[in-house]
Amino acid sequence: MRKIIAVLSDMHAGHSLGLCNPEAMIFDTAPEPAEEIPVSINSWQQYLWEEIFLTGIERIKSIAGDDEVHLVSLGDVTQGSKYPSHLTATSDGNQCRIAASNLAVITKELSVKRVTMVVGTSAHVGEEFGLTHATASILKNEHETQLEHIDVSQHAVLDVHGYQIDLAHHGSSGGGRQWLRGNIVRYEAISQILEYIENGETPPDMFLRGHFHDEILETITRKINGDIKEFKYVIIPSMTGMNAYARKVTRSRPTVTNGMVAIEVVDGNLSNIHFLSQTKNLRTTFRI
């Protein structure tokens, strides 16, 4: 039995740098009654949509073939209203409509029947994570898909025929220096694995995290009950651009990596992890 887990994270719908379906419809609430109008997207959003999102979907189709695809959204589906600068959709409702429209495309194209949504950061999806729940409701009830069920959780575990994937939005950062990239992730993974073992529990086989808009994969090997086991800790790249705050905390990193991940599980064992991503240089060159 083979199953594909398609994972995307940090869409930040409603922000000018976030993922936005160019065919999404939102409400203009100024007139009475409110009018449904199409969104407009900028060149960055067009790049994300065409070169990252749609291209990623086609690659997942090729990987999956006739096998089932399960979709995971790893948090921050919307931008929220706590940080209102550069919003293209100022209302929570319209942000949720854009996010649901994004997810509707991938669920339709990949014939997804079940989705797992991790909530993310309260600043972006609401103090009670209401924007994630609202997005799930719109996706299920207002879009024609093959969806049968949507699970929403703060911290979830996917059991894929015995292969367990731990899902949460927040986790370890990728590290502050290029030669240290992955070190902090590795220490965090070892710490969590040891905590499970000390509590007499079996650690999950893989940890998936978002939030840091980065792309990291670390493999940890440990002996458990006499058997050598491999564990994976993966940070998923984002589906949004680099705003002023991100430039600050990354100390003006010159590139941003966007994309999705496809995980192949065959008969309860990990077969492959595909990073369907692309890195873009953000600097502008001036010739003088």
Residue 235: its pLDDT value, please?
Answer: 96
Residue 67: its pLDDT value, please?
Answer: 97
Give the separation between CA 280 and CA 110, rounded to whole angstroms.
Answer: 26
Question: Taking a C-beta distance cutoff of 8 angstroms, is the pair 230, 190 a contact?
Answer: no
Q: Residue 18's beta-bridge partner residues?
A: 240
Per-residue pLDDT tens digits for 111-120: 999 999 999 9
pTM over 0.75: yes
* Helix/strand/coil percentages in the chain, nearest 5: 30, 35, 40
Residue 224: its pLDDT value, please?
Answer: 84
Give the separation between CA 113 and CA 68, rounded to whole angstroms.
Answer: 9
- Give the three-state DSSP class for 238: strand
Residue 102 has pLDDT above 80, yes or no: yes
Residue 125 has pLDDT above 80, yes or no: yes
More confident: 127 or 263: 263
Per-residue pLDDT tens digits for 152-165: 999 999 999 999 99
Give the mean model confidence (pLDDT) for residues 261-267: 98
* Residue in 189, 248, 240, 186 with CA at minimum distance from that of residue 213: 240
Question: Taking a C-beta distance cutoff of 8 angstroms, is the pair 102, 143 a contact?
Answer: no
Question: Taking a C-beta distance cutoff of 8 angstroms, is the pair 257, 279 a contact?
Answer: yes
- Give the three-state DSSP class for 265: strand
Question: Taking a C-beta distance cutoff of 8 angstroms, is the pair 228, 8 a contact?
Answer: no
Give the separation between CA 247 and CA 278, rounded to whole angstroms.
Answer: 18
How confident is the prediction for the chain on average, in pLDDT? 94
Give the mean model confidence (pLDDT) for residues 211-224: 91
What is the 8-class DSSP label of residue 178? G
- Rounded percentage of the chain residues whose pLDDT exceeds 70: 100
Please name each of the domains of the chain with its CATH number.
Answer: 2-281 (3.60.21.10)
Distance of CA 191 to the CA centre of its chain: 24
More confident: 263 or 177: 263
Give the mean model confidence (pLDDT) for residues 90-95: 95
Per-residue pLDDT tens digits for 80-90: 999 989 999 99
